[in-house]
Amino acid sequence: MSIEVRIPTILRQYTGGEKAVEGSGSTLAELIDDIESRHAGLRNRLVDEKGLRRFVNVYLNDEDVRFLGGLETSVKDGDNVTVLPAVAGG
């Protein structure tokens, strides 16, 4: 078992074109670190020094992690994580 992470089109350059990758960890931060070890560059597109980037949405089992615990959100085997860039502008 592991955690599936769905990757949006614009970030598939880091996953060799794959729509989804697998990883492990007990928190979202650990999961991102684990994925970064195989898909270098991805982490920087998801987080900055303040935490999750403002215009990237990350969902754990369909719930926006901003309403859970952000990077400290607990994750476990069998969970599904979806990354979607915000659609926004001025």
Partner 1 sequence: MLRIDRATYDQIVAHARRDHPDEACGVVAGPAGTDRPERFVPMLNAARSPTFYEFDSGDLLRLYREMDDRDEEPVVIYHSHTATEAYPSRTDVSLAQEPGAHYVLVSTREPDRTEFRSYRIVDGVVTAEEVSVVETLTQAAPLTDGSP
Q: Which residues are near partner 1 by CB under 8 A? A: 8-10, 55, 57, 59, 62, 64, 66, 82, 84-90
Q: Rounded to an integer, what distance in angstroms lies between the CA atom of residue 2 and that of residue 75?
A: 10
Q: Judged by CB, which is closer to partner 1: 40, or 86?
A: 86
CB of 68 to partner 1, least distance (A): 12
Which residue bears the tokens 């898909």? 39
**Closer residue to partner 1 in complex, CB, 24/80:** 80
